Amino acid sequence: MADVRIVFLPGGCPAVVEERTTLLEAAQKAGAGLAAHCGGAGSCGACRVRVAADAPVSPPGLVEEQLLRPEELAAGIRLACQTLALGSLQVEIPPESAAVAQRLQVGGDEHCARFDPPTEVRDVELPPPPAATPQSDWEILIRRLDLEELRPNPGLGFLRRLGAALADDRTVRLGLRRGAPSWALPAGRRPLGLAVDLGTTKVAGYLVDMADGEVLTSGGVTNPQIAYGEDVLSRITAVMLDGALQERLSRLVMDALGVMAAGLCRAASERAGAQAPLLPGDITECVVVCNTVMHHLALGLSVQGLGVAPFRPVLRAPLECKAAELGLAVHPEANVYFPGNVSGFIGSDHLAMLLASGVGRGGGGPVLGIDIGTNSEISLCRGGEILSCSAASGSAFEGSTLRFGMRAADGAIEHVRVRDGRVEFQTVGGGKPVGLCGSGVLDAVARLRAAGAINRHGAFVAESPLVRRGPAGPEVVIAGADVSRHGRDLTLSRQDVGRIQLSKGAIRTAIELLLRQAGMCAAELERFVVAGAFGTYLDVDSAMDVGMFPRLPRERFRQVGNSAGLGARLLLTSESARRQCADMAARIRHCELTGLPEFRSEFTRAMWL
Amino acid sequence: MADVRIVFLPGGCPAVVEERTTLLEAAQKAGAGLAAHCGGAGSCGACRVRVAADAPVSPPGLVEEQLLRPEELAAGIRLACQTLALGSLQVEIPPESAAVAQRLQVGGDEHCARFDPPTEVRDVELPPPPAATPQSDWEILIRRLDLEELRPNPGLGFLRRLGAALADDRTVRLGLRRGAPSWALPAGRRPLGLAVDLGTTKVAGYLVDMADGEVLTSGGVTNPQIAYGEDVLSRITAVMLDGALQERLSRLVMDALGVMAAGLCRAASERAGAQAPLLPGDITECVVVCNTVMHHLALGLSVQGLGVAPFRPVLRAPLECKAAELGLAVHPEANVYFPGNVSGFIGSDHLAMLLASGVGRGGGGPVLGIDIGTNSEISLCRGGEILSCSAASGSAFEGSTLRFGMRAADGAIEHVRVRDGRVEFQTVGGGKPVGLCGSGVLDAVARLRAAGAINRHGAFVAESPLVRRGPAGPEVVIAGADVSRHGRDLTLSRQDVGRIQLSKGAIRTAIELLLRQAGMCAAELERFVVAGAFGTYLDVDSAMDVGMFPRLPRERFRQVGNSAGLGARLLLTSESARRQCADMAARIRHCELTGLPEFRSEFTRAMWL
């Protein structure tokens, strides 16, 4: 069957697949980050994509006719899991279908195109040494590679693999890093790459073919450190109380990455069918992006300095080490690259986002980029200058401190509207509601404020028909017991609203103070880029309504999803991206905002709704 | 009490000890390699030393009067374990008292004096970072060390220890290797070094104070790989049959070295008394010398190339790696240095011998250096040129293939004489005989040949009164059942003599062919240096009598004991010794003798007695 090329918008990531492959499979191959809650079974309807009217795809089937409205089908909306590609085409992933994985709307596909891998792959055939002279494999190799002059200090791990590879076969596949032999694979093995976005809660991984940069598959696991604390500060505390945890937490992450790598290899092998299976031992290149505390916890570096002001990291520079040093179960000599950190609160995940979203590139007008999480990182880029800060935005948007809060998982209310005096909602997966995730809570506060049920200070307006007297004070029912999955009313309390006020206040304060540091006002921003899982799903209008974001024309906003993951993939396959990222890190001026005299007053004002 | 300085000859190694310390204890501190079979209990009489008539020592006591003859005492012979130093003095260790450890008679004490350690130790106090800037520990450190321009790639292990060391205390003790931070110790810890002579059978270790090069203590363990084969070839075979053994054998050696390091630290701590204990974690520098197969087996490098012609090693160049990479339980960032190998059969132990004995230095007249073992290494140095070869001398001299053969342990017959038609012998430890070790067998063959009991072809002369008809053919009783420890006659068979002929023939053949390669004859040799445990104990006259060594004036021979161990210590504490050793390795021309047309005829002739 012929191969067809499918390009997913807005990210521009391509996949080359066989004709009659489903668009979902192609999206997975491209790492385009398309939601598929039911795993492609055709039951959830989450993988909606848009194709042109004349696009070469299979006609809608029974499943799509059931799950899609006629006007949607007319507009080119299709379920990716039900639609077969019959030729090359472009597929648009609408925001509501974007998985955590990726939804890049800034920078376009130019990044996807760049491919200059940091390690050169070379097949070398070594002649057997002449019987009389006692030349070693290493000497024969460096002579073969014309490295005699360089005489790099051979790495022990490399020599172990080299000897093993040459024992049976005198041909070996080598990785040369900066001209020096870095790893050895048996001839014919296909070097793979692993890009990791190591979050405090979730770990996302992308398995990449290092021959062409193609994403073979992607997937995620939970960060097992969660057992030692939901957030980074509680993990630092745990380590401070029990020094032995330092090594244990690093071990846990590395084990999880190893398991993830094995799973991705298995999945990619199954997809590829009868070919030789892909093995974790073929992963010769890794990139890990993460926040600074996760960076230290993963590497086994002391986090003691990160627990107290001035939040001193052990290392900010990029670090490259061998997988064996980390105990990471891929090729033992795989080069594992950790890009640099900016400060104790701004890590390489933010740098990766700035890289992938183009925010950090400079050149154009002023751009603000924000990663929203328990700790939010914000960068203001103008010309070549980058001002960055962090904001303690708390975990309200991740659902963990709210009465009915939850993560954006199946059954989470992700959007709320007030129509005709009644609260309406939409859940992840479309089923019965279980709780509220960040975007749902943000919507609820914004819509209830607009409906007059909440005043500007966040208090419920007793007179509003939406507000009722609950056992612990006034509350608003978002979903009644009759429709909720567990048969209880899902409500929003005054305390919940207060938590959202604190979170959004912290973010807005940081944005305002950062702008002030640059002598700018928000209106001058040419673009406002929102990244991260919550940032992907939030309703920008709600965010403006509650005052979390400054009011700007709607079209200036870009929701770029998990661009840290895309950034990790760029860093994996591109030496110039690594240089660009290091260069960017050097240009960043870190602002510590809490020390500013105007911080308190600004924060008080930013809490208003 | 005052400290006194004791210098041990011929090695010239000094020890500074408290007044009234025994000479044995001082010799142990100096690492002078004095035999003490009974561990200093005063029962074996092995630790004989010679002191000047007016040397400041305690007078002979009862034990010495029992174990030493009056003429010995008159000649200044003393038992080191019974003699107290009352002032500074020189002590001579006669050849018969030299332990395996060291008996250096060549090169004198000039090597002991040289001390230019490869790693610079520096105490650094790091100021806390200013609150506003997010500088990392690493940045503060490299600025403090003025390394900003250099920007060495930080090592992960170093960063782990740095962070830990700086967490509580802002002062840290650093090792700088080639200007770059290499390891970190908490302030005040004393960096230690470990020199290892890793033999196929035995492992000798020396714990060294890296501040001044003093040997704190030394000791040995059995090479645990013995469970997988007595000699290197059987271990190669074992690995070839079971690939998983490769890693296991490396693990075994590293575990043994870790145990040995811990034992040496404990012993040195006990000796030092109340001071802070010395810990393996303070060992920051290691050197391991060994033969090429042990080198590969210890490092986990493939030995497949070493098992078949042309006996290709994976690596010949010097290798420096981190202890953590090896799984060696010392400081994880300790620099472990493996000097280079010359060929599959000539390893760094031979280079270390050439270094320590001065053979490889060149400059003087022609010198031949030989390490006798299962595989013997021979180097001929003339001017700057070094010709080296190896000889498959077999394990007869190590006692393992002879009927009553044994290692040079307690009860081994180490010397044999034929006096008045009767065989006389001397055992290690002086007790009842158990078997014959190499030097005893060599003596036996030489003396029985001289006494006419063996002819030039190695056959017993039936007419000799020394020869009797045994159950398996003619034999000679070396020790009768009435005196032997197990109540059986200890005999020498025709087969035993044949094995010795093969061994000595291989050695002599190699010496002759090497000389011929250089266009020389033996008489031109200015010195003939014999190293190794067997080489220490053998009687040079017997070796010449049986034709193992060419006949030369007796004074040209030097028996230097375990100079590989001394070489390892030189390499541990001296960067210039490392350069010298690498330079020497580059100058060596390796000769493969078995390929020469004259090999067979020469070998046949060399077998004659």
Give residue-wise pLDDT tens across range B373-419. Answer: 888 999 999 988 899 999 988 888 877 788 898 888 888 999 999 99
Q: What is the pLDDT of residue A274?
A: 57
pLDDT of residue B101: 31
Question: Is the separation of the CB atoms in A496 and A477 below 8 Å?
Answer: no
Whether residue B315 sits in one domain with residue B419? no
Same-domain pairing of B303 and B170: no
End-of-domain residue from the set B338, B365, B398: B338
- What's the confidence (pLDDT) of residue A361? 76
pLDDT at residue A488 greater than cutoff 50: yes
Centre a 10 Å sphere on the Cβ of residue B551 and count the other Cβ atoms it contains.
Answer: 12
In a domain, A73, yes or no: yes
Q: Do A160 and B344 touch (CB under 8 A)?
A: no
Task: Please indicate if any CB of chain A lies within 8 Å of the CB of B363.
Answer: no
Q: What Rg, from alpha-carbon coordinates, does chain B have?
A: 26
Chain A residues in contact with B590 by the CB 8 A cut-off are 133-134
B180 touches chain A (CB under 8 A): no
B460 in the same domain as B370: yes
Q: Does A126 touch chain B (CB under 8 A)?
A: no
* A157 part of contact set with chain B, CB < 8 Å: yes
Is the Cβ pair B319, A156 closer than 8 Å? yes
- List b or e across A46-57, with b for residues whose CB sees 16 or more CB atoms inside 10 angstroms: bbbbbbeeebeb
**Joined tokens for residue A586:** 């050097």
Question: Cis (ω within 30 of 0) for the bond into A310?
Answer: yes
Instruction: With beta carbons under 8 A apart, name residues in chain B contacting A592.
Output: 131-132
CA distance A152 to A139: 11
Question: Which residues of chain A have a CB within 8 Å of the CB of B305?
Answer: 137, 163, 166-167
Would residue A260 count as lying in a domain? yes
The verdict on A216 and A317 lying in the same domain is yes
Tokens of B428: 């290690």
Q: How far is A12 from chain B (nearest CA, A)?
A: 35
- CA A183 from chain centre, in angstroms, equals 28
A290: three-class secondary structure by DSSP? strand
B314 vs A157: CB contact, 8 Å cut-off?
no
Which of chain A's residues have a Cβ under 8 Å away from the Cβ of B309?
Answer: 131
| pTM higher than 0.80 | no
Is the Cβ pair B315, A130 closer than 8 Å?
A: no
Q: Is the peptide bond before B181 cis (omega within 30 degrees of 0)?
A: no
Contacts of B134 in chain A (CB under 8 A): 310-313, 316, 342-344, 590
pLDDT digits (tens, 9 = 90+) for B574-586: 999 999 999 999 8
Residue A354 domain flag: no
Task: Output the six-digit token pair for B57.
Answer: 């020592």
* Chain CA centroid to CA A204, Å: 7
User: pLDDT higher for A152 or B422?
Assistant: B422
Give how many domains chain B has, as a whole number. Answer: 4
DSSP B431: S
- Judge if A449 and A585 occupy the same domain: yes
A580 and A597 belong to one structural domain: yes
Q: Is A166 on the interface with B (CB under 8 A)?
A: yes
Helix (H, G, I), strand (E, B) or coil at A318: coil
**Both structure tokens of A6:** 């499918």
Q: What is the CATH number of the domain that holds B259?
A: 3.30.420.480
- Residues B22 and B490: their CA atoms lie apart, in Å, by 38
Q: Are residues B51 and B172 in the same domain?
A: no
Q: Answer yes or no: is A112 within a domain.
A: no
The answer as to whether A355 is a domain residue is no
Beta carbons of A195 and A569 less than 8 angstroms apart? yes
DSSP 8-state assignment for residue B370? E
Do A325 and B320 make contact, defined as CB atoms within 8 angstroms? no
- B133 interfaces chain A, CB cutoff of 8 Å: yes
Q: Within an 8 Å CB–CB cutoff, is residue B135 touching chain A?
A: yes
Burial class (CB in 10 A: 0-12, 13-18, 19+), A85: buried
User: Where does the pLDDT of residue A106 fall: very low under 50, low under 70, confident under 90, or very high at 90 and above?
Assistant: very low
Best residue in A156, A158, A596 for a mutation probing chain B (most B CBs within 10 Å): A156
* Interchain contact A305–B (C-beta under 8 A): yes
A317 vs B138, B155, B325: nearest CB: B138
3-state secondary structure at position B5: strand
* Residue A240 tokens, joined: 């401070």
Closest residue on chain A to B240 (Cα): A167
- Chain A residue closest in CA terms to B159: A301
Q: Write the residue in B310, B324, B326 that is nearest to A129 by C-beta.
A: B310
Residue B582 near chain A (CB below 8 Å): no
ipTM: 0.76
Tokens of B360: 């490889």
**Residue B129, pLDDT score:** 64
The beta-carbon neighbor of B154 closest among A128, A317, A325 is: A317
The Cα-based distances of A496 to A401, B113, B449 in angstroms read 8, 76, 104
Q: Please give the Cα distance from B517 to B533 (Å, whole number).
A: 28
Q: How far is CA A563 from CA A100, A193, A337, A568, B372, in A?
A: 9, 18, 18, 8, 66
Residue B343 lies in a domain: no
Reported as half-sphere exposure (CB side, CA atoms, 13 A), residue A162 has a value of: 27
Q: Within an 8 Å CB–CB cutoff, is residue A213 touching chain B?
A: no
Rg (CA), chain A: 26
| Separation in Å, CA of A129 to nearest CA in chain B | 7
Shared domain for A419 and A480, answered yes or no, is: yes
What's the confidence (pLDDT) of residue A11? 63
Among the partner residues B131, B305, B310, nearest to A310 by beta-carbon distance: B131
Q: Does A308 touch chain B (CB under 8 A)?
A: no
Cross-strand pairs, B79: B48
Coil vs helix vs strand at B492: strand
CA separation for the pair A486, A190 (Å, rounded) = 49
User: Is A316 in contact with B138 (Cβ distance < 8 A)?
Assistant: yes
Q: Length of chain B, please?
A: 609
**Neighboring chain B residues of A315 at a CB cutoff of 8 Å:** 136-138, 154, 159
Instruction: Identify whether the C-beta of residue B120 lies closer than 8 Å to the C-beta of residue B160.
Output: no
Q: Which of residues 32-61 of A touch B (CB under 8 A)?
A: none
DSSP per residue, A424-477: EEEETTSS---EE-HHHHHHHHHHHHHTTSB-TTS-B-TTSTTEEEETTEEEEE
Contacts of B286 in chain A (CB under 8 A): none
Phi, psi of B399 (to 5 degrees): 85, -5
Asked if A163 and B314 come within 8 Å (Cβ–Cβ), the reply is yes
Residue type, A173: R
A257 and A163 assigned to the same domain: no
* Structure token pair of residue B103: 């008996």
| Residue B147 sits at the chain A interface (C-beta within 8 Å) | no
Question: Does residue B109 lie within any of the structural domains?
Answer: no
Residue A57 has φ and ψ, to the nearest 5°, of -130, 165
Give the structural domain span for B204: 196-338
**H or E element at residue B438:** helix B438-450
Q: Band of the pLDDT at A530, cuts 50, 70, 90?
A: very high
Instruction: Specify if B579 maps to a domain.
Output: yes
Residue B314 CB contacts under 8 Å (≥ 6 apart), including other chains = A136, A137, A138, A159, A162, A163, A166, B296, B301, B302, B305
Cβ pair B136:A317 closer than 8 A: yes
Query: What is the mean pLDDT for each group of 10 consecutive residues in chain B (609 residues)?
Result: 80 78 83 65 76 89 83 88 89 68 32 74 82 79 74 79 79 88 89 95 92 90 87 89 91 96 94 81 97 96 88 91 95 95 92 90 85 91 90 82 84 91 89 91 95 94 92 91 90 93 95 94 94 86 96 91 89 93 90 86 90
User: Could you tell me if B307 and B159 lie in one domain?
Assistant: no
Residues forming a β-bridge with B338: B319
Size of interface A-B (CB pairs under 8 A): 165
- Give the span between the Cα atoms of A461 and A475, in whole angstroms: 10
A535: phi then psi, degrees, rounded to nearest 5: -60, -25
What percent of chain A has pLDDT above 90? 50
The DSSP element (H or E) to which B252 belongs, if any, is: helix B245-272
DSSP E strand stretches across A344-444: 367-371, 376-382, 385-391, 412-419, 422-427, 435-436
- For testing contact with chain A, the best of B139, B151, B156, B592 (most A CBs within 10 A): B156
Determine, for residues A132 and B595 on separate chains, whether the beta-carbon distance falls below 8 Å. Answer: yes
Say what the pLDDT of residue A113 is. 45
Judge if A196 and A321 occupy the same domain.
yes
Pairing of strands A3-9, A89-92: parallel
Indicate the residue among A158, A186, A214 that finishes a domain.
A186
Sheet bearing B89-92, strands edge to edge: B13-18, B3-9, B89-92, B48-50, B77-79
User: CA quadruple B168, B171, B173, B178: dihedral positive or negative?
Assistant: positive
Residue B128 near chain A (CB below 8 Å)? yes
> Is residue A219 classed as helix, strand or coil in its secondary structure?
strand
For A125, phi then psi, to 5°, come to: -105, 125
- B302, B320, B338: best mutation site toward chain A, by most A Cβ within 10 Å? B302
CB contact under 8 A, A162 and B311: no
Within 10 angstroms of residue A127's Cβ, the number of other Cβ atoms is 8
Residues of B with Cβ-Cβ distance to A319 under 8 angstroms? 153-154, 156, 159
Which of B134, B167, B316 faces A344 most closely, judged by CB atoms?
Answer: B134
Pick the last residue of a domain from A307, A338, A369. A338
Q: What is the DSSP secondary-structure string of A56-110?
A: SBPPP-HHHHHHS-HHHHHTTEEEGGG-BB-S-EEEE--GGGB-TT----SSTTH
pLDDT of residue B148: 62
CA distances from A88 to A23, A57, A91, A104 (A): 11, 9, 10, 21
Is B159 in the same domain as B267? no
Candidates A188, A183, A137, A139; CA nearest to A161 is A183
- How far is it, in rounded angstroms, from Cα B67 to Cα B85? 20
pLDDT at B231: 83
Return all residues near A69 (Cβ < 8 A) that are at least 6 apart: none
Q: Which residue of B has its CA nearest to A591?
A: B132
A245: nearest Cα among A316, A309, A317, A296: A296
- Rounded to a whole number, what is the distance in Å from the CA of B154 to chain A's nearest CA? 7
Nearest residue on chain A to B138, judged by CA atoms?
A: A315
Nearest CA to B347 out of B379, B307, B394, B382 is that of B379
pLDDT of residue A259: 95
Choose between A395 and B489: higher pLDDT.
B489
